[in-house]
Amino acid sequence: MNDSPGRAVPGPSPSDGERPGAPDGQDGGTEGAQAPAQQPPAGGPKWSAEQPPPGEWSSPGTPQAPQSPQTPQPPHQQPQPGAGWGSYAGPRPGQGQYGPYGSPGGPGQWGKPPAAKPGVIPLRPLDLGEILDGAVATMRSHWRSVLPITLVVATVVQVISVLVQKYTLSDLPVTSAEEPSLSDVADTLGGSMLALVANGFIQLIGTIVATAMLTMIFSRAVLGHASTIGAAWREARPQLLRLLGLTLLLGIGGVLLVGVLIAPGIALGNIGVGLLGGCVALPLLLWLGIKFSLASPALMLEKSSVSTSLRRSSRLVQGSWWRIFGITALTGIITTIVAGIIVWPLTAIGVAIGLVDAGPTALETGAVMNGWAPLILSAVGAVIAQTITMPIQSGVTVLLYVDQRIRREALDLELGRAAGLENYGSDAAAPPTGG
């Protein structure tokens, strides 16, 4: 009897020329020839001479009905190939290629079902570890494209930020030891607002450019394709104005929402009513922020408009708000801790150098924070931190978008074909590939 690979038939192997399962006195070579009956070893198990053929063994504790191996299995229903990531094939069947997610993928299969992995993630619904690992793996394997983008953007942002802080805030009256007048306070507030707006605008432009280019790099990394900086820029450039409009719309909408909710308290002069409006605004802003958190990758990868990307994000997040919120919050905590570990020691060194140069009185007036040493060292720490954390945050957002489309729209089948996997999804289970 020929054993299938990995499955050994219990009991002693039949001798050469002997037909398994034949009654005593018969072999496979000569009919009617007498052969001495083989006795099982003393004390060993007595197995039946009739064993089931290979391939019909069932998992322990899982009864299975016999199934003819010749019965053809119906192919999995596939979405028709579309033009890029923007195609929509309808909802994914609940018992599709992999069976119910989170449960055994089929008879004899336990745990996560096998899936192709042409790039940084397997083409199936992802868990938290796989999303974070995919973001870090993209940084590690495509660092020639990822790190220069974030390094240049972070450096430009921090250089301009240092210059603005040095020449806008260093001579403000609030930093002097003298008692400021009312006009001095107004000048101080005006200068602070100017610096704040300038820094915010610079960071907004830099973040938009970096996010757009990183989104393209991560989308190619999912397919196992490398992407150059020039290619990422050419793909992202047509959508930059729309991404800017989306970002401004979300920011202005959040400000207006807070203003509407706290306006009654301001109008009535009642602090309690204003605080109540603020307490209502915070969770509402959080809910809307997660609801539209996938609008950016939807706009970039589907080449859609601002309104369409907002609707797409709302549909993709629906029913998974808490899951996306948890992954986003955990990513924010991780990146904040990493940034703090890098920035705060350098800032402390800069403050110590400033105290040595300016003397202890500079700490009382706050002038030490506007010295070159603390500003430069803080900027160096911020550049290093943003170079590391910006790709992680962008990558997690893109992979969350991909994961939601896999769960709802069977995007994994389209990605498998786009990655060059022939007939991917046509069988009951696609064999995993390298990656």
179-221 pLDDT, tens digit each: 556 666 666 676 667 777 777 888 889 899 999 999 999 999 9
Summarize the confidence of residues 167-171 as an average pLDDT.
62
User: With 60 as the cut, is the pLDDT of residue 19 above it?
Assistant: no
Summarize the confidence of residues 398-419 as an average pLDDT.
92
Comparing 195 with 431, the larger pLDDT belongs to: 195
Distance (Å) of CA 32 to CA 18, 24, 38: 13, 11, 17
The torsion defined by the Cα of 41, 46, 47 and 50, in degrees rounded to 10, comes to: 100
404 touches 323 (CB < 8 A): no
Summarize the confidence of residues 109-137 as an average pLDDT.
84
Summarize the confidence of residues 24-30 as an average pLDDT.
44
pTM above threshold 0.85: no
Comparing 275 with 405, the larger pLDDT belongs to: 405
Comparing 341 with 172, the larger pLDDT belongs to: 341
Most confident of 37-41, 155-159, 316-320: 316-320
Comparing 316 with 162, the larger pLDDT belongs to: 316
**3-class secondary-structure state, position 122:** coil
Comparing 302 with 272, the larger pLDDT belongs to: 302
Summarize the confidence of residues 407-435 as an average pLDDT.
71
- Exposure class string for 129-151: b at 16+ Cβ within 10 A, else e: ebbbebbebbbebbeebbeebbb
User: With 70 as the cut, is the pLDDT of residue 251 above it?
Assistant: yes
229 touches 149 (CB < 8 A): yes
Alpha-carbon distance 404 to 401, whole Å?
A: 5
Residue 109: DSSP 8-state: B
pLDDT value, residue 184: 64
367 touches 175 (CB < 8 A): yes
Residue 12: DSSP 8-state: P
Summarize the confidence of residues 371-399 as an average pLDDT.
92
pLDDT value, residue 115: 80
pLDDT value, residue 110: 47
Distance (Å) of CA 207 to CA 213, 215, 341, 418: 10, 12, 22, 29
Average pLDDT across the chain, whole number: 75
User: With 90 as the cut, is the pLDDT of residue 402 above it?
Assistant: yes
Copy the structure tokens of residue 83.
């033009």
Summarize the confidence of residues 377-397 as an average pLDDT.
94
pLDDT value, residue 364: 54
pLDDT value, residue 12: 43
